[in-house]
Amino acid sequence: MENKQYLLDTNILIEFMDGNPSVVEHILNAGIDHCCMSVVSLHELYFGAHYAKTKKEEYFEKEMKRISKLLERFTVLPLPEKADGYGQIKMALRLAGKLADEFDMIIGGQALTTGLTVVTDNVKHFEPMPEVKVENWLIRA
């Protein structure tokens, strides 16, 4: 792999926590220092932990530990003050009559503004976003 910088989407972070061999291998090949997460994904992960709590208290504790381990490995990028990437993406999608999840557009805008490649299993959510580079490192058996 080249010396790119990658913004790991929430679903890829979850697969990494689950030990998905394809995702783990790609991250190791890219270099963990070339991979980061958006603060938006961190928010989504904390929501998932609190949602797990509604099923069983011990699930919440397990998810919180998993998130802590992620935070030891990956840099969390704050949203850039320059929000033009998000505005560009949302306007282009609106003009094309396409809808997208707000969080996905924010992550896409962050990647566009910072020159990162989004790594996601939801490629179809990001492909319509102009100029956003996208890769999928998840190989399902």
**How many domains does the chain divide into?**
1
Taking Cα atoms as reference points, which of 79, 70, 73 lies closest to residue 48?
Answer: 70
**Residue 140 lies inside a defined structural domain of this protein:** no
* CATH code assigned at 41: 3.40.50.1010
**Residue 70 lies inside a defined structural domain of this protein:** yes
**Residue 141 lies inside a defined structural domain of this protein:** no
**Res. 139 pLDDT band, cuts 50 70 90:** confident
Reported as a single tens digit per residue, the pLDDT across 19-74 is 999 999 999 999 999 999 999 999 999 999 999 989 888 999 999 999 999 999 99
**Residue 42 lies inside a defined structural domain of this protein:** yes
CA 57 – CA 15 distance, rounded (Å): 22
| pLDDT at 13 > cutoff 50 | yes
For 63, the domain range is 6-135
Element housing 73 (H / E): helix 57-73
Beta-sheet pairing, 117-119 with 75-77: unpaired
| pLDDT at 1 > cutoff 80 | no
Reported as a single tens digit per residue, the pLDDT across 100-137 is 999 999 999 999 999 999 999 999 999 999 999 999 99
